[in-house]
Structures are given as structure tokens and as C-alpha cells.
Amino acid sequence: MRTVGLIAMLALCDPVISEAQAADIRLADAATTGALQKSLQRAGVYYSADSPLKAAIRIEGRIVPGDAKKLDALIARSNLSGYIPLLLDSPGGSYDEAIKIADNIWLTPVVNKGAECNGACSIIFISGRSVEGDGESPPDRYAHREARISFFVPDFDFPDNGSSKALQAAFQNAVRFTGFLLRQRKKWNLPNRFFQALVDKSVTWQSVAKETKINVIE
């Protein structure tokens, strides 16, 4: 076996995941939405009796191909608009699918206390931004201080008998993914430390929260 470093791991084919293991994408219940409103209010988000948080969406579980379409369908079916939090609790999954979600997202990602958001999920989280009237999109993402978020991408072992075609495809996808992040760098407010966090597990999300404009909630 030989180790392939950097973010080439992102390019591996997505594992086969059963329907039971796939992410559950749905509207949050009233209790969860109400508790979230209170947390966001403490962080400075304005709500009132006349203007409450009406809905939130949950993504729980591993991200798999087709999740972007499922999310779009839920939004259309529920007739959602305006400020809608996206509650994330995922160990990771398909980076390609995470890119599709992140590239079009207008929701506000939130990782609650005790929830995790690793690997591919963290790409959705870091993409959070609010769309303002002048067309600008300042960063808009929230995480509880006890949330478990990891941008770190570990090395992976590529089989010695792996075909050159598979290895070439892996690196091509890794380069494509890197290019995607670099293109989003200014839009998503990604400092150098964020890119360091991709390859250095000692760089925690809390240590880059201020630089990456992650709002910490209680």
C-alpha cells in the first residue's frame, strides 16, 4: 500500500451506502425550531412575536448522491423562502454532492450542541452566507461551541495494484475540488488557516472561527 496525501482522498469513489444509511433530509419539528430561534437570538439574530423563525431544515446522516435534489425538492414542496437555517449533523460522505449543495445554498448552516459535521459536511457548513439586497453574500454560519466540526482530510492508502486510470481520475477530481474551494475563497471568506485545516488535524474549527466568520452560539 502507498499513502496518497493532501486532499486526494476527496476523489475516491463514493462508497455504496444503503438507503438506511443515507442522510435524512426533512423539516425540523416545532420544538427544535423554537430552541434554535432562542440560540440564534442570543447570537444577535433578530426575531419577534410578529417575525418568528418559521422553519428550519435538518440534514442528518451521511451525504450521498441525490441529496442536493432531495433538498431542492423539500424547499419547493414546503414553499420556503427567506431566512432558513440548515441544521447539519453528518459524519461526511460524498464530496461531489456536498459541492452541489454548497454551490447553490442560500440557507444558513448551523451545527448544534453535540452534533457533528465532518469532511464533506464541513464544505456545506463553510459555504453558508446571507444574500443581501445589494447582491453581496457575507458569511453566515453558526456553530455551538461544543459542536464537532472537522475540515481535516486524512491521507488514504491507495492499493499498489490500483489501475493508473483510477489513480489519474482520483487526482483529477482532487484538483477539481481544490480549484472549487479556491474559486470560492473570497466569496466564502476562507483565510489561509482554513486551507491549513484541510491537511492539519491540529487546526480546530474553534481556532479559525473568528477568521472564517463562524458565529459561535450557546
Model pLDDT, residue 128 = 83
Q: Which residues contact 47 (CB under 8 A, 6 or more apart)?
A: 37, 40, 41, 53
User: Contact 60/18 with Cβ under 8 angstroms?
Assistant: no
Separation in Å, CA 24 to CA 98, 118, 129, 151: 15, 16, 23, 22
pLDDT at 3: 45
Q: Which CATH superfamily is domain 2-217 in?
A: 2-enoyl-CoA Hydratase; Chain A, domain 1 (3.90.226.10)
**What per-residue confidence (pLDDT) applies to 57?**
95
128 DSSP assignment = -
**Burial of residue 168 (number of CB atoms within 10 Å: 0-12, 13-18, 19+):** exposed
**pLDDT value of residue 6:** 47
Residue with the three cell numbers 459524519: 91
Report d(CA 218, CA 116) in Å as an integer. 16
Report pLDDT for 162. 61
Contacts 24+ apart (CB under 8 A), 203-212: 203/151, 203/152, 205/122, 205/143, 205/147, 205/149, 205/150, 205/151, 206/145, 209/143, 212/126, 212/139
pTM of the predicted structure, to 2 decimals: 0.81
Place of cell 492499493: 159
pLDDT value at residue 64: 93
Confidence (pLDDT) at 130: 63
Stretches in the chain below the pLDDT threshold 70: 1-21, 130-138, 153-163, 166, 169-170, 173-174
Q: Is residue 66 helix, strand or coil?
A: coil
